[in-house]
């Protein structure tokens, strides 16, 4: 198997690398892409024809997912949805597969969501149906949010939301491993809502082009555009700092997420004096050696502060790297368009919840 570091791999599949070796690698990956795409088409067809069975729960299920590998901004949208339902006194449970988690532990998404949503349980289990049964039977949850579940079709859902990253909307035009698509683009037909994330990082013409390519595939789906709005800086010990607090000093940044370019551009928008930027693989598990290396790096470039994402901070768990303060950038979803349409969809789900007996009340009276 080819051993290629993540950044080199992205340069190859995106055609940034035009070397003979990169061209050879792209050619080698084509048969694997064909086989994987065919397998996904057959799997989807099996579900469409009911050869593979789906299970429908007695409570509503909302899925948030995407068509591409890497980060499209699902976590902020999951947090926004959970807050919406909690504000309406709905008991919510988030369920995810737990990709990248160490044994008997939780991954970075779960840890980050826990800090954002302390009153929302988050169950991680590769068997999401089993997790859903725990949520319904033991937690008396009224609604389940499936995180990163567009390709998970075993659990029926009442609403399928798909995020498309404005910076790399179509996975470089190929299915994995030749590109970043998890399945052929036609799979987006299953979505009821399409959300263009990081829409503010591209111009209106690019947004329109993305929408026009997707529209024929899902003509009845609602369309929304969002940005990832920085709100404040947080530390591992719970301190907060206004965004302006790092302006005017030398700042170094690092991250181990699916879309590091989105993070870098956000920092650029904040007008930070970014002296260096370091990238780790997605879901990177930081080690003691990593912390030592980062500390030395910060000293060498004479940085006065370090900044990462919340997903990185929850795994490092330190508020300083040597003498350099470490901050994480907190971001929230802000709608540029389409919020009313999504609100209407969520309102329909709220009606379903109101018409059902409250399982907690039923358990208490029973």
Q: Tell me the pLDDT tens digit for each residue of 221-255.
A: 999 999 999 999 999 999 999 999 999 999 999 99
Rounded Cα gap, residues 73 and 258, in angstroms: 9
Q: Cβ distance 72 to 164 under 8 Å?
A: yes
Q: Which residue has the tokens 């826990």?
A: 114
Q: Tokens at residue 138, please? A: 């033991």
Q: Tell me the pLDDT tens digit for each residue of 115-126.
A: 788 899 999 999
Q: Tell me the pLDDT tens digit for each residue of 269-301.
A: 999 999 999 999 888 899 999 999 999 999 999
Cα angle, residue 8 at apex, residues 207 and 292 outer, rounded to 5°: 105
Residues 6+ apart with CB under 8 A from 225: 195, 196, 199, 207, 335, 336, 337, 338
Domain boundaries, given as residue ranges, for the chain:
6-48, 61-229+334-365, 230-331
Q: Tell me the pLDDT tens digit for each residue of 4-19.
A: 677 788 889 999 999 9
With 70 as the cut, is the pLDDT of residue 174 above it? yes
Task: Return mean pLDDT, the chain.
Answer: 92
What's the pTM value of the predicted model, to 2 decimals?
A: 0.88
Residue positions counted in the chain: 366
Q: Which residue has the tokens 């929304």?
A: 224
Superfamily of domain 61-229+334-365: P-loop containing nucleotide triphosphate hydrolases (3.40.50.300)
Rounded Cα gap, residues 164 and 173, in angstroms: 13
pLDDT at residue 187, rounded to an integer: 96
Closest by CA to 188, choosing from 220, 166, 154, is 220
How many contiguous H segments (helices) and E segments (strands) does the chain have? 11, 13
pLDDT at residue 212, rounded to an integer: 97
What is the rounded average pLDDT of the residues 306-333? Answer: 95
pLDDT at residue 278, rounded to an integer: 94
| CATH code assigned to 230-331 | 3.40.50
More confident residue, 6 or 130: 130
First vs last Cα of the chain: how many Å apart?
58
* DSSP track, 166-212: TTSTTGGGSBTTTSSBSS-GGGGGG-SEEEEETGGGS-HHHHHHHHH
Q: Tokens at residue 237, please? A: 């010990």
Q: Cβ distance 262 to 71 under 8 Å?
A: yes
Q: Tell me the pLDDT tens digit for each residue of 60-75.
A: 999 999 999 877 889 9
Q: Is 230-331 the same fold as 61-229+334-365?
A: yes
């Amino acid at each position: 198997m080819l051993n290629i570091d993540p950044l080199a791999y992205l340069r190859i599949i995106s055609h940034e690398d035009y070397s003979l070796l990169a061209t050879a690698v792209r050619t080698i990956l084509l048969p694997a892409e064909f086989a994987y795409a065919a397998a996904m088409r057959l799997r989807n067809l099996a579900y469409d024809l009911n050869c593979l069975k789906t299970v429908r729960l007695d409570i509503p299920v909302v899925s948030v997912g995407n068509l591409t590998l890497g980060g499209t901004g699902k976590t902020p949208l999951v947090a926004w949805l959970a807050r919406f339902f909690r504000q309406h006194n709905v008991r919510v449970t988030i369920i995810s597969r737990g990709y990248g988690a160490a044994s008997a532990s939780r991954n970075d998404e779960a840890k980050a969501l826990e800090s954002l949503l302390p009153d929302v349980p988050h169950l991680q289990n590769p068997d999401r149906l089993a997790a859903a049964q725990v949520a319904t039977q033991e937690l008396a949850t009224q609604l389940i949010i499936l995180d990163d579940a567009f390709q998970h079709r075993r659990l029926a859902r009442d609403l399928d939301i798909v995020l498309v990253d404005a910076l790399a909307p179509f996975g470089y035009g190929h299915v994995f491993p030749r590109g970043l698509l998890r399945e052929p683009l036609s799979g987006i037909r299953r979505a009821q809502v399409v959300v263009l994330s990081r829409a503010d990082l591209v111009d209106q013409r690019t947004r329109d082009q993305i929408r026009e390519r997707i529209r024929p595939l899902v003509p009845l789906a609602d369309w929304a555009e969002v940005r990832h709005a920085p709100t404040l800086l947080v530390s591992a010990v719970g301190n907060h700092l206004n965004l302006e607090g790092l302006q005017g000093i030398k700042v170094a940044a690092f991250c181990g997420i699916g879309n590091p370019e989105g993070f870098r551009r956000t920092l650029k928008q904040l007008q930070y004096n970014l002296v260096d930027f370091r990238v780790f693989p997605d879901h990177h598990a930081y080690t003691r050696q990593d912390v030592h290396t980062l500390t030395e790096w910060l000293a060498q470039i004479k940085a006065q502060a370090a900044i990462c994402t919340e997903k990185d901070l929850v795994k490092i768990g330190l508020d300083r790297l040597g003498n350099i303060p470490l901050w994480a950038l907190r971001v929230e979803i802000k709608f540029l368009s389409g919020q009313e349409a999504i609100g209407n969809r969520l309102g329909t789900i709220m009606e379903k919840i109101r018409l059902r007996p409250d399982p907690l009340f039923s358990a208490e009276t029973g």
